Amino acid sequence: MKNRLQPFCGATIRQVTSGASGGRPFGRFPEPDRPVPPPGPTSPDPTRPRPQVRQPYQPFGRSDAGLDFTTPVELRCILQPTSEMRRMIPLLVFTFLFAALVIAVIVGIIVPDVAAVSFVAGLVGGAVVAGSMYMRLKVRLTRTFGELQRLRLMPHGMQRTDGTVAIDMPWATVSRIEVRNSALPSSRRANLALAGAAGGVANGVLAAAQTKVAAGIVGRATLTPLPGASRARLKAHDRVSGGRAHLRRGQSHTTEQGLIFPSEFEAGWVHGTVGAWLHHYRPDLQLPN
């Protein structure tokens, strides 16, 4: 009886421990020639809070922990006269045409029989007037950007100088970052009553040439006229203040709408030196992206 049941029991065990395809074992019994893998990590409990991985905070794309905010820093102007003069091309073209027309009319009155003389004189005169205007502007901008225009970052605040005025803005009085026109309006405006339509065109061209939008630091600041400053430039600052300032008379002026444009001194100022100083002394300010 025992010998009869042994083959049946062996066949039954082989059938149970063999898979349906190819006789591969299943369950927790591995093949004899396959090593047993080490036990894997247990699955995390979804109800258990995961630990927070603390990353170093670098708001400016770099760590400013090693910067010294007690020693004043001076930044030079990065503007180039050639790039600024491109905005003056419409004004130069208008100056050339207007001067050529006026000179041609005057010469035509003096020499009425030869029209070519007045035409050539108008072209030459217009070119001379526009060319001299271009050279004066270029010389002034080269000196201003290269020698005079600076931004100083100090523990008590910022100071911007350009040879005309010094703008002092403490860190505590900075109110916001706002997009404004960074070009100083000129004091030269045509009188519409005297110049008529030509004066209106001149004012429009002048306004277009003096429009340069950029993000500026706005806050309470004191404007102080510098020795040797141009009276025309000081008058332009007085016009911006709405007539409340008298810089051309040598008087300082305090305004709640003081403006400093850091892009004149750093291309990526938000992630640079100016942004680091702002974040250090005024971490509550929202800087542009």
Which range among 22-36, 126-140, 164-178, 230-244 has the greatest average pLDDT?
A: 164-178
What is the spatial distance between Cα 154 and Cα 260, in angstroms, rounded to a whole number? 14
Token representation of residue 124: 């030459």
- At what angle are helices 89-110 and 115-143 packed, to 10 degrees? 150
Give 228-288 as a DSSP string: T--HHHHHHHHHHTTT---GGGT--EEEEEEEE-GGGT-TTGGGSHHHHHHHHH-TTS---
What is the spatial distance between Cα 253 and Cα 176, in angstroms, rounded to a whole number? 20
For 226-283, write each residue's pLDDT tens digit: 998 988 888 888 888 777 888 999 999 999 999 999 999 999 999 999 999 999 999 9
> Degrees (nearest 5) of the Cα angle 180, 182, 184?
125
**What pLDDT, on a 0 to 100 scale, did the predictor assign at position 45?**
56
Backbone angles phi, psi at 21, to 5 degrees: -125, 115
What is the arithmetic mean of pLDDT over 50-67? 45
pLDDT, the chain, mean:
76
What is the spatial distance between Cα 269 and Cα 167, in angstroms, rounded to a whole number? 19
If we measure between CA atoms, which residue out of 215, 21, 12, 190 comes closest to residue 91?
190
Q: CB within 8 A of 277, min separation 6: which ones? A: 69, 73, 153
What is the spatial distance between Cα 14 and Cα 16, in angstroms, rounded to a whole number? 6
Kindly state the helix (H) or strand (E) to which residue 225 belongs, with its residue range: strand 213-225
**What pLDDT, on a 0 to 100 scale, did the predictor assign at position 233?**
85
Contact predicate 75/150, CB 8 Å: yes
With bands split at pLDDT 50, 70 and 90, how would you rate the model's confidence at 33?
Answer: low
For 70-117, write each residue's pLDDT tens digit: 999 999 999 888 877 887 888 888 889 999 999 999 998 888 888 888
pTM listed for this prediction? 0.64
Residues 54/281/255/213 CA torsion (nearest 10 deg): -50
**What pLDDT, on a 0 to 100 scale, did the predictor assign at position 198?**
47
Kindly state the helix (H) or strand (E) to which residue 223 belongs, with its residue range: strand 213-225
Q: If you ran DSSP here, which 8-state letter would residue 203 be given? A: H
For 193-219, write each residue's pLDDT tens digit: 334 444 444 444 444 444 567 899 999
Q: CB within 8 A of 188, min separation 6: which ones? A: 206, 232
With bands split at pLDDT 50, 70 and 90, how would you rate the model's confidence at 126?
Answer: very high
Backbone angles phi, psi at 119, to 5 degrees: -65, -50
% of the chain surpassing 70 pLDDT: 66
When comparing pLDDT for 75 and 68, which is higher?
Answer: 75
**What pLDDT, on a 0 to 100 scale, did the predictor assign at position 185?**
56
**What pLDDT, on a 0 to 100 scale, did the predictor assign at position 219?**
95
Residue-level length of the chain? 289
**What pLDDT, on a 0 to 100 scale, did the predictor assign at position 289?**
74
